[in-house]
């Protein structure tokens, strides 16, 4: 069954077709959004299985047939850059591993593009709420578990090294949940739900502050500037674009010459 065939099924259709369509939509939405939330830690806590489900379902439903013709040039350009990088790298094995991780992350665009067309906005929004809630509650549970330690921050750092790859993975997943919560608050109209997700957002921001992540703060500012550049015109857009260039440039300088910056 192709994407066009699934889309052509009317919502009011009864019987197997409607159930089949709904079941696929839920799997596609849940697995794809979970993968995006776990991009900083693609090998942790079920992320590999979610990637197989999201990409597998998208390919099964025929998403590649519309994806490849539209993005053919970008796909070939990315593959060419990976090959050149591997051939010129000092350690080709690491470059090849990095290329694989890039391809695995970029492959999520296939189910994501299908999700936009196939699944209803309310369904995807519902899964975003569920995943953002689970991520925030998990962070809260982690904090409560180590609250009695002399240094909660270093205790969480130690847990991250053992169970989440490193602390940066945890910080980045938490940061993505913050962005999800911001989107939820922008589009949620129910008063009680806005209060609930607002409380989750405040805790998530506090959790970022506990972990002392200056890079995350910079990323949030850049996201805000990018939104302003897209949303507004005139001087506001010019100011936002200038801020984006300065922010990205400052970060690049810090990464290239850390000693000089200090």
> CA 1 from chain center: how many Å?
28
Q: Are 47 and 125 found together in one domain?
A: no
- 112 in the same domain as 1: yes
Residues 36 and 115 in one domain: yes
pLDDT at res. 12: 38
Q: 64 and 164, same structural domain?
A: no
Same domain, 60 and 170: no
67/5 same-domain check: yes
- The pair phi, psi for residue 130, each rounded to 5°, is -65, -45
- φ, ψ of residue 165 to 5 degrees: the values are 85, -65
> Which range of residues forms the domain containing residue 115?
1-119
Going through the chain in order, the beta strands assigned E by DSSP cover none
Question: For residue 4, what pLDDT is reported?
Answer: 42
Q: Look at the chain and report how many structural domains it folds into.
A: 3
| Same-domain check for residues 101 and 142 | no
Query: Is residue 27 located within the same domain as residue 73?
Result: yes
Q: How far apart are CA 39 and CA 106, in angstroms?
A: 10
Do residues 113 and 143 both lie within one domain?
no
In whole angstroms, what is the distance from residue 121 CA to residue 119 CA?
6
Q: Please, are residues 218 and 253 in contact by the beta-carbon 8 Å criterion?
A: no
- Enter the DSSP assignment of 107: T
Instruction: Characterize 71-97 residue by residue with b for buried, 16 or more Cβ atoms within 10 angstroms of its Cβ, and e for exposed.
Output: beeeeeeeeeebeeebeeeeeeeebee
CA distance 131 to 34: 7
Q: What is the pLDDT of residue 99?
A: 80
Last residue of a domain, one of 73, 96, 119: 119
Contacts of 142 (CB under 8 A, 6+ apart): 156, 159
| pLDDT for res 247 | 83
For residue 148, CA distances in Å to 142, 145, 156, 162 come to: 11, 8, 12, 19
Q: Are 150 and 199 in contact (CB under 8 A)?
A: no
Distances (CA, A) of 72 to 7, 35, 69, 86, 107: 24, 23, 5, 21, 13
Domain match, 185 and 223 both: no
* Contacts (Cβ under 8 Å, ≥6 apart) of 92: 86
Angstrom distance (rounded) from CA 231 to CA 236:
9
Residues 112 and 137 in one domain: no
Per-residue pLDDT in tens (0 to 9) along the chain, 262 residues: 444 443 333 333 333 344 445 777 888 888 888 988 888 777 777 788 888 888 888 888 788 888 888 888 888 888 888 888 888 877 777 778 878 878 888 888 888 888 877 666 788 888 899 999 999 999 999 889 888 887 888 888 888 888 887 888 888 888 889 889 988 998 888 889 999 999 999 999 888 888 877 777 788 888 888 888 888 888 889 988 998 888 888 777 777 776 655 5
**3-state DSSP assignment of residue 213:** coil
Check: CB of residue 185 under 8 Å from CB of residue 200. Answer: no
- Predicted local distance difference test score (pLDDT) of residue 260: 57
pTM above 0.85, yes or no: no
């Amino acid at each position: 069954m192709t994407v066009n065939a699934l889309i052509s099924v009317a919502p009011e259709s009864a019987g197997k077709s409607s159930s089949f369509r709904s079941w696929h939509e839920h799997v596609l939405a849940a697995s794809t959004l979970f993968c995006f939330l776990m991009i900083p830690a693609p090998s942790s806590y079920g992320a590999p299985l979610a990637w197989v489900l999201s990409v597998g379902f998208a390919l099964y439903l025929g998403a590649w047939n519309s994806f490849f013709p539209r993005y053919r040039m970008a796909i070939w350009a990315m593959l060419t850059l990976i090959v050149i990088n591997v051939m010129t790298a000092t350690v080709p094995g690491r470059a090849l591993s990095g290329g694989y991780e890039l391809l695995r992350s970029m492959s999520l665009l296939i189910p994501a593009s299908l999700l936009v067309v196939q699944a209803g906005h309310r369904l995807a929004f519902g899964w975003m709420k569920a995943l953002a809630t689970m991520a925030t509650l998990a962070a809260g549970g982690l904090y409560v578990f180590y609250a009695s330690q002399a240094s909660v921050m270093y205790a969480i750092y130690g847990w991250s090294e053992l169970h989440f790859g490193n602390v940066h993975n945890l910080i980045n997943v938490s940061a993505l949940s913050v962005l999800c919560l911001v989107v939820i608050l922008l589009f949620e109209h129910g008063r009680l739900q806005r209060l609930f997700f607002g409380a989750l957002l405040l805790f998530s921001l506090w959790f970022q502050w506990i972990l002392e992540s200056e890079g995350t703060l910079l990323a949030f500012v850049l996201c805000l500037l990018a939104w302003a550049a897209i949303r507004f015109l005139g001087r506001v857009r010019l100011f936002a674009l200038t801020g984006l260039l300065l922010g990205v440039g400052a970060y690049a300088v810090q990464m290239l010459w850390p000693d000089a910056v200090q």
